[in-house]
Structure 1
Amino acid sequence: MRVALLQITSSDQPSDNLAMVEDMIRSAAANGAGCVFTPEVTNCVSMSRRHQLEVLRAEDEDRMLARVRDICAELGVWVSLGSLALKTDDADGRFANRSFVIDGTGRIVARYDKIHMFDVEVTPEETYRESDGYRPGTHASTVESPCGHLGLSICYDLRFPHLYRALAKAGAQVLTIPAAFSPVTGAAHWDVLLRARAIESGCFAVAAAQTGQHPASSGRSRRTFGHSMVVAPWGEVLADAGTEPGITYVDLDLSMVDKARRQVPALGHDREFDGP
């Protein structure tokens, strides 16, 4: 199955991002991709809570989700929307950072809310408190697709290997890891963490990423690392998109999953232990 990863520089204007993403999905499908993967917060990258309250919508009102569903039905392509920032009915007003898998008829076949919140001080100038604006999810998710059994995750989840082991044991062959990674942590950790998660689980790691300086009409702008990647189950990097926006294509051979797991069947070697 040929898959396509969209590497984009989303602004804080969902309507502009929708037009860009629609064009890229159509181009990917025209070039033979059966499954298309988009990054984290595809619909809106914003550091302003006030602006987010103005432009974000609930799931059933989000224009990007509705339009991508229509495109999938029109083209017969599957899309893994890495995540959308969405309003919720939570009493504290926090948003959801939610991933969707949409099939070739336009049906939503899986949802996943990001479990691990990016609450860090990377540097004194680069501090994030994701949990202030987003509520964490509580359920892991997998789904069968034409490009393999997908195990869903989002960005900071990458640092929690037990999640990926659970996904692999639940049948996942392809780990989706959409991201809007910090340039500082990206340069230090992105490549090695993606390779580790692929090797540990015997899965493909498919990581579509945001990249560059994100235009902001309100509040400070963000910069993200880029380098959308596909890593094979044995740890080989099959694609690295660098830092420019664009579409990256990879043909996934799922027999590589079975081969890696036969060579090192670590998923079946867990043992109970005491302590520490």
Structure 2
Amino acid sequence: MNPSVALSTLRVAAVQLPACTSDLASNEAAAFAAVRAAADDGAQFVVLPELSMVPYFASVPGGQYRDWAQAADGPLAARCAALARERGIALFVPFYEFDRASGRYHNAVLGFDADGKPLRAGPVARKLHLPVGDDPPPGYDETAHFTPGDALHIVRVGAWRIGTLVCYDRRFPECWRALRAAGADLVIVPVAGSGGDDMDFFVGELRTHARENGLAVVCANKSGDEILDGVRIDNYGESCVIAADGAVLARRPGNAGPGVVSATLAHAEIAATREKLSYFDHRRIDLYDTPTF
């Protein structure tokens, strides 16, 4: 990554992957090919969808498919690091994590800089909020499969400070406020499925959080149905890049299928947006129970 470019502008890409199958090697090959295509098109910063290389499996009983989990310093991480280094990009890869130290499983995100070095000071970014629902039948229970993360996660890519909210985490305004308070410029939102939303609401919710907090957003989702043990997960795409004022800079509908959406973000534009739309600075924090937000 050119340091002079990284200081002021960043070409970001959200990769809309095809639905995964139980052939993990094929899933990985598709993901890596898409990352290379994004980099060849000029992306300096690439984000993949939630659980990017395995089908969404939270509709099955807890404990199944644990052989799919990987350590944060395991073989998958090594291959992703090599890919980031090969293409000279910052790369964010959501994965099914097994933490050797605790013996716990997480819905997590690997991050690498353009030299292939891990983007983390401690644990990887982990999903903080775990949903339980009954749609589609027979329902899903992420608490049966994952342990929630216990901290918001911010890393630096050049001059940019990057926060991570995995799928359901995006629902909680406090997360966005806290990331802005911690100095984030950009939030990545890896997603799988539809979450029961229509497509306009899905994008509208992200636009609202971006504008309220002066944060750019890169959201990546899969496209197409995943079928695992007879259960269908509808990944409906809508991967997008959203400016800090809520403007949609790029968006790929699900019916367009797999592909890449990309846009250029500028630090100066984020600063100008925050000066014009001063919602964060105008908060009456003396009235709130949690004044740091």
The answer to whether the 8 Å contact 2:28/2:53 transfers is yes
Number of positions where the alignment pairs a residue of Structure 1 with one of Structure 2 = 270
- Residue type matched to 1:7 in 2? Q
- In structure 2, do the counterparts of structure 1 residues 89 and 174 end up closer, same or farther at CA, with 3 Å as the change threshold? same
Give me the TM-score of the superposition, normalised by structure 2: 0.84
Distance in structure 2 (CA, Å) of the matches to 1:84 and 1:147: 26
The answer to whether the 8 Å contact 1:34/1:146 transfers is no
Residue of structure 1 aligned with 2:32, choices 22, 47, 63: 22
The answer to whether the 8 Å contact 2:199/2:238 transfers is no
Distance in structure 1 (CA, Å) of the matches to 2:135 and 2:214: 30
Aligned to 1:71: 83
1:109 maps onto 2:109 in alignment? no
Aligned to 1:151: 163
Q: 1:90, CA displacement in angstroms?
A: 7.8
- In structure 2, do the counterparts of structure 1 residues 126 and 198 end up closer, same or farther at CA, with 3 Å as the change threshold? farther
Aligned to 2:184: 172
Computed over aligned residues only, the root mean square deviation of the Cα atoms, in angstroms, reads: 2.2
Distance in structure 2 (CA, Å) of the matches to 1:267 and 1:274: 13
Aligned to 1:130: 142
- Unpaired runs of 5+ residues, structure 2, are 1-9
Distance in structure 2 (CA, Å) of the matches to 1:36 and 1:104: 11
- Unpaired runs of 5+ residues, structure 1, are none
The answer to whether the 8 Å contact 1:183/1:224 transfers is no
- Residue type matched to 2:65 in 1? Q
- Residue type matched to 1:3 in 2? V
Q: 1:273, CA displacement in angstroms?
A: 2.1
Q: 1:122, CA displacement in angstroms?
A: 4.2
Q: 1:46, CA displacement in angstroms?
A: 3.7
Distance in structure 2 (CA, Å) of the matches to 1:89 and 1:240: 38
The answer to whether the 8 Å contact 1:119/1:128 transfers is yes
Residue of structure 1 aligned with 2:239, choices 228, 245, 248: 228
Deviation larger for 3-12 or 236-245: 3-12
Aligned to 1:241: 252
The answer to whether the 8 Å contact 1:46/1:221 transfers is no
Distance in structure 1 (CA, Å) of the matches to 2:247 and 2:90: 25
- In structure 2, do the counterparts of structure 1 residues 163 and 238 end up closer, same or farther at CA, with 3 Å as the change threshold? same
- Residue type matched to 1:28 in 2? A
Distance in structure 2 (CA, Å) of the matches to 1:142 and 1:213: 32
Q: Superposition pairs for residues 193-232 of structure 1, below 5 Å?
A: 193-216=205-228, 218=229, 220-232=231-243
Aligned to 2:6: none
1:11 maps onto 2:24 in alignment? no
Secondary structure at 2:238 match in 1: coil
Aligned to 1:84: 95
The answer to whether the 8 Å contact 2:224/2:234 transfers is yes
- Residue type matched to 1:161 in 2? P
- Residue type matched to 2:54 in 1? C
Aligned to 2:4: none
- In structure 2, do the counterparts of structure 1 residues 147 and 181 end up closer, same or farther at CA, with 3 Å as the change threshold? farther
Give me the TM-score of the superposition, normalised by structure 1: 0.89
Secondary structure at 2:42 match in 1: coil
1:259 maps onto 2:272 in alignment? yes
Aligned to 1:31: 41
Q: 1:58, CA displacement in angstroms?
A: 2.5
